[in-house]
Amino acid sequence: MEHVRAHVLICAGTGCVSSGSKKVYAALCEKLTQKGMDKEVKVIETGCHGFCEMGPLLVVYPEGVFYVRVQENDIDDIVEEHLFKGRIVERLLYKEPVSLEKIPNYSDISFYKKQMRMVLANCGHIDPENIHEYIAVGGYEALARALGEMTPESVVDEVKKSGLRGRGGGGFSSGTKWGFTRNAAGDKKYVVCNADEGDPGAFMDRSVLEGDPHRVIEGMAVCGYAIGADEGYIYVRAEYPLAIKRLRIAIQQAEDLGLLGDNIFGSGFNFRIKIKEGAGAFVCGEETALLASIEGRRGMPRPRPPFPAVSGLWGKPTNINNVETFANVPQIITKGADWYSSIGTERSKGTKVFALTGKINHTGLAEVPMGISMREIIYDIGGGIPDGKKFKAVQIGGPSGGCLPEHLLDLPVDYDSLIEVGAMMGSGGLVVMDETTCMVDVAKFFLNFTQSESCGKCTPCREGTKRMLEILTRITDGNGRQGDIALLEDMAKNIKTTALCGLGQTAPNPVLSTIKYFRHEYEAHINDKKCPAGACTKLAVFSITDSCKGCSLCKKACPVAAISGEIKAKHTIDTIKCIKCGACMAKCPFKSIING
């Protein structure tokens, strides 16, 4: 075994790769060779740490020093100072946004402190392209235990007892679903992993697949054993090339070690996994559309019943779970259902990974125990709202979810509380909005998304979301009519009760929740032709206040010559000529141009 005195872990998740971690990796390797230190310092590319805002991330062990936003030209310092002389490079440490305190250690950073990283435990810590690293941290023990010590029924019971619910959005009991597939008649059954993550701003599943692919493969194999399936499919969108690459490597390595294939652990259980790349249709995240797509047909949902548990892939009983659900399974088997169900709330067990995006300081992935409050996620983990702006709302559950206002921030995050207030857990996207966000515009954004992603099969989703989108558009354009809010509510109700699949049935949720909590914004647009957030450009009226110094920067910036005024005298805007582009406002050094 090789002996090294230091390990350097460089994040090779999609976020860090796009901010330059590949170049950092190359520079580091080159420098170490140059210094003759390449035998004593080992460099490992890992999966995502979740703290994407701060990438590229680099951790030096054994100290566990956490460097952020590392670029190629920082490598000299890291090697010369830290690895050679043992001095921490202070300027690359993470600074807390409020206290500005520099924090060298991973676990002391507020972003990680309140997290409970179980599914993401290995992400960022092991090399996802090396199965031995997964095995070294206890990987494939769950499969060994299931095959060696448990009957398929007891595996199903264990998962049932753990209280694990589907992490893909519906929140259905995973154990119960496994039981349905197990009990369905049929000699051929399938396990399908839904990795068609498509919510705007969501990247939980991508990170798990990139950072710890074996965990998902192991979860699927345990499921295969439990339900009596010998074949699995991972349906992953082609937009996730890195995840696909690592999955392929992982499957190959598992096959090479006999952890996939025939007679696994000598138990007589056979299980193989294939990857099916999806073409990126959002609707293929719906299970029946996903199955159609695997079968080579156009991804369109079909009515249920029959449920896939009875008639799924090629008409055979099929158990479909999403990536995060499968990733939860190994620890349930190794540590037991009682341990698992001790985490979380009464009806929502375990942890949930959220993707924090929008107007939040710490964009990234956070895994928290169920029942934590939204406030803790946004302020303690997420570091609050940037630029001293005020929090307005958080959209949870993606296009199917809802927008929650400030007074619901202390709500415990679990499946049922969220449904109660008109949102849903969904797959775990959290989009934070501040006071400059217009809630009608947000509803329009999500409706636009569902409308363009609707498969077009059923009338309410195809036609109904289009009409709702048109109404929202006219409201934000200043052409809203009396009765539009009631019409939106009426449409929403009927689309929810008549649409064929989950996509259509939940598409009106962003509209309903914004009307429920931000009705006054709709009314301001319709009645006063004003956008309170100042976000709807068509409703904007720019004017110059008395604080204008007459610097004429705005005049130069205006593309349509709508601003006039002498140097050193107050300028004015011709509102008829103005095309409301906002260029003047952005240019003004004195904040003298206002909207309103």
SS (H, E, C) 250-303: HHHHHHHCCCCEEEECCCCEEEEEEEEEECCCHHHHCHHHHHHHHCCCCCCCCC
Choices 133-141, 400-408, 417-425, 453-461; region in contact with other proteins by CB under 8 A: 453-461
Shortest distance, CB of residue 333 to other proteins, whole angstroms? 32
Complex with other proteins: residue 99 or 497, whichever CB lies closer: 497
Work out the burial of residue 86: count CB atoms within 10 Å of its CB; fewer than 13 is exposed, 13-18 middle, 19 or more buried.
Answer: exposed
- Chosen residue from 417, 451, 506, 592 binding other proteins by CB under 8 A: 451
| Distance from the Cα of residue 515 to its chain's centroid | 25
Shortest distance, CB of residue 415 to other proteins, whole angstroms? 15
Please count the other Cβ atoms lying within 10 Å of the Cβ belonging to residue 137.
14
- Chosen residue from 191, 281, 526, 554 binding other proteins by CB under 8 A: 281
Shortest distance, CB of residue 427 to other proteins, whole angstroms? 20
**350: number of CA atoms within 13 Å, CB side?**
31
Interacting positions 164-203 with other proteins (CB under 8 A): none
Phi/psi at 490 (5° precision): -65, -45
The residues facing 278 across adjacent strands are 237
Residue 25's nearest CA partner among 80, 78, 93 is 78
Q: Residue 290: CB partners within 8 Å, gap ≥ 6? A: 192, 194, 196, 235, 278, 284, 299, 320
Shortest distance, CB of residue 455 to other proteins, whole angstroms? 6
Complex with other proteins: residue 92 or 503, whichever CB lies closer: 503
Shortest distance, CB of residue 401 to other proteins, whole angstroms? 18
Strands of the sheet containing 269-278, edge to edge, are 261-264, 269-278, 231-237, 190-195, 318-322
Build a one-symbol-per-residue string for 488-527: x at contacts with other proteins by CB under 8 A, - elsewhere: --xx--x-xxxxx----x----------------------
When asked if residue 465 is in the footprint of other proteins (CB under 8 A), the reply is yes
Choices 46-54, 172-180, 369-377, 451-459; region in contact with other proteins by CB under 8 A: 451-459
Number of separate helices (H) and strands (E) present in the chain = 24, 20
* DSSP per-residue string spanning 110-128: HHHHT---STTTTTTTS-T
Please count the other Cβ atoms lying within 10 Å of the Cβ belonging to residue 79.
22
When asked if residue 467 is in the footprint of other proteins (CB under 8 A), the reply is yes
Complex with other proteins: residue 42 or 466, whichever CB lies closer: 466
Choices 82-90, 201-209, 374-382, 459-467; region in contact with other proteins by CB under 8 A: 459-467
Work out the burial of residue 251: count CB atoms within 10 Å of its CB; fewer than 13 is exposed, 13-18 middle, 19 or more buried.
Answer: buried
Complex with other proteins: residue 52 or 281, whichever CB lies closer: 281
Complex with other proteins: residue 115 or 454, whichever CB lies closer: 454
Complex with other proteins: residue 482 or 497, whichever CB lies closer: 497
- Chosen residue from 463, 477, 489, 523 binding other proteins by CB under 8 A: 463
Shortest distance, CB of residue 458 to other proteins, whole angstroms? 5
Shortest distance, CB of residue 438 to other proteins, whole angstroms? 21
Q: Rg for the chain (alpha carbons), in Å?
A: 26
Rounded Cα gap, residues 519 and 439, in angstroms: 9
Complex with other proteins: residue 73 or 494, whichever CB lies closer: 494
- Chosen residue from 7, 35, 272, 466 binding other proteins by CB under 8 A: 466
Shortest distance, CB of residue 456 to other proteins, whole angstroms? 3
Residue 256's nearest CA partner among 314, 217, 313, 210 is 217
Shortest distance, CB of residue 501 to other proteins, whole angstroms? 10
Shortest distance, CB of residue 289 to other proteins, whole angstroms? 12
Interacting positions 286-315 with other proteins (CB under 8 A): 298, 300, 302-303, 305
Check residue 452 and report its DSSP letter: H
Shortest distance, CB of residue 450 to other proteins, whole angstroms? 8
- Chosen residue from 15, 104, 168, 464 binding other proteins by CB under 8 A: 464
Q: How many residues bind other proteins (CB under 8 A)?
A: 34
Choices 60-68, 347-355, 447-455, 550-558; region in contact with other proteins by CB under 8 A: 447-455
Complex with other proteins: residue 118 or 419, whichever CB lies closer: 419
Rounded Cα gap, residues 517 and 535, in angstroms: 18
Shortest distance, CB of residue 184 to other proteins, whole angstroms? 16
H or E element in which residue 396 lies: strand 391-396
Q: Residue 442: CB partners within 8 Å, gap ≥ 6? A: 393, 395, 403, 433, 510, 514
H or E element in which residue 318 lies: strand 318-322
Complex with other proteins: residue 87 or 298, whichever CB lies closer: 298
Complex with other proteins: residue 116 or 495, whichever CB lies closer: 495
Return the structure tokens found at 175: 């154990």
Binding site for other proteins (CB under 8 A): 281, 283, 298, 300, 302-303, 305, 451-460, 462-467, 470, 487, 490-491, 494, 496-500, 505
